[in-house]
A and B are shown apart, each in its own frame.
Chain A
Amino acid sequence: MCIAIPGKVTSLLDEYTAMVDFGGVERQIKLDLLGGCDDALLGQYVLVHVGYAISLLTEEEGKETLALIEELMEGE
């Protein structure tokens, strides 16, 4: 429930909906809590919780967290 994972915004679909790439898997998520879709969010890393971006991450932070998660998955 508290789990949130980072992904990269790849396209904007409507006022609130975007496609986000989670390390190769793309899903629709909502951007309401970051102010809705804005071209400035394209290519940005966001932290996603239950289908909603809750926080913006810098590219470096996003990649670093994704790398950590990949490492964890390999260790499963």
Chain B
Amino acid sequence: MEKTELGKAPKLRKNKRRSNESLAGWLFALPWLIGLAVFFIYPLLSSIYYSFTDYSILQSGDFIGLANYRELFQDELFWISIYNTVYFAVLFVPLSIIFGVALAMVLNMRVRGMAVYRTIFFLPTLVPHVALAILWIWLLNPQFGLVNAMLDFFGIQGPPWLGSTFWSKPALVLMSLWGIGQAVIIYLAGLGDISQEYYEAAEVDGASFLQKTFRITLPLLTPVIFFNLVMGFIGAFQQFTLPYAMTNGTGSPADSLTFYVMYLYDNAFSYFRMGYASAMAWILFVIIMLLTAIVFWSSKRWVHYQGD
């Protein structure tokens, strides 16, 4: 009897304190919550509504039902921008994973001055995208650019990169790979997480370097690869700043660099077709959501967690 009473009393007190604390917590979070509601949730919901209107920013639009969506599916540039975006994502995301993991494994070796090397590979991610775009325009210039000068050294005549509709997207992939330092940091953390015991056990069994890489390192790195895959696809589908800055927003040559979000931006701010742009934004949302769902669904088959 006594025990339970003793046990009850502090519990009650604790509950009261907890509700006071949670009230204070909510109060502290309130400014942020109001901000979230006013500047994020409200615009988000209104953009659904606007996607059914011919809203132009300067004048409130009329409700036109599904007309924006119907027009989009007949809009040639809409399909071109989807093609370009998918092309870029399909080329860039796998390459960024292969190079990212390889680079992380190299940077994970115990060598003197490793901190310096790691810094060097992380530095490019600190460069603003617009500056990066200008830098690469120079590097890729076929007349006096560094890239073709290097190819020339090996006796290869470099392609006209940004002048050609065929090479412009690979050029953009090349540029984007420059910024994989961010992903490499995450891979490095993942590598650091793999228990040394596995390697020691494998060494006792006489496993080669390749065997260790493909049987231990890569499988145990899959949760991190999974994360970077999802983030990579989301980022690739929202590609904007680099091609926009490089082509002055034109997507030249001949729309080969017109990406989905660039066309969305044009509709919103150049043509004042906010309703049409809202419809595009929601279609993009659905595409990214579906893609993420597919990656999540497939992850059961290939992502291994330590201790599973």
Report if A and B associate in a common complex.
no
Binding site for B on A (CB under 8 A): none
Binding site for A on B (CB under 8 A): none
